[in-house]
Amino acid sequence: MYKLFLGVVTAVILAYGGNAFAQSGQGGYLGLNPGGHQTAATPEQTRAAEDALKSSPDTWCRTNSSVLDRCMGKAEAEHTYCLQHDPDHYVSCRSMMDSLGTNH
């Protein structure tokens, strides 16, 4: 009998509990083609952006660093290190050094 009562109470709560919403409270219809207006960067655009970051030691700091003063103080050393060790992964190298706060 108790299980039956508990089942009925649970069913009533679920029935009158209201609609389910996203936790963010935003939810909603995304449209027919969400993101359809966006375009991907071409390899040439990506290469140009990476080359611009390599143009001077402080360019990367000004656009990407989370702690600008610390990055600017080490910009020359990190710039030289990343260009010498692996220029194809310059952005990854500078990001790692900035997040770790390393000194060279």
User: What are the structural domain ranges in the chain?
Assistant: 41-104
Q: Is the pTM of this model over 0.75?
A: no
Do you know the residue count of the chain?
A: 104
Using CB atoms within 10 Å of the CB of residue 79, give its burial: 0 to 12 exposed, 13 to 18 middle, 19+ buried. Answer: buried
Per-residue tokens: 15: 């029935």
Is pLDDT at 61 greater than 80 in this prediction?
A: yes
pLDDT 10s digits, 10-38: 877 776 665 555 556 666 666 778 777 88
Instruction: Identify the three-state secondary structure at position 41.
Output: coil
If one compares 11 and 64, the residue with the highest pLDDT of the two is 64
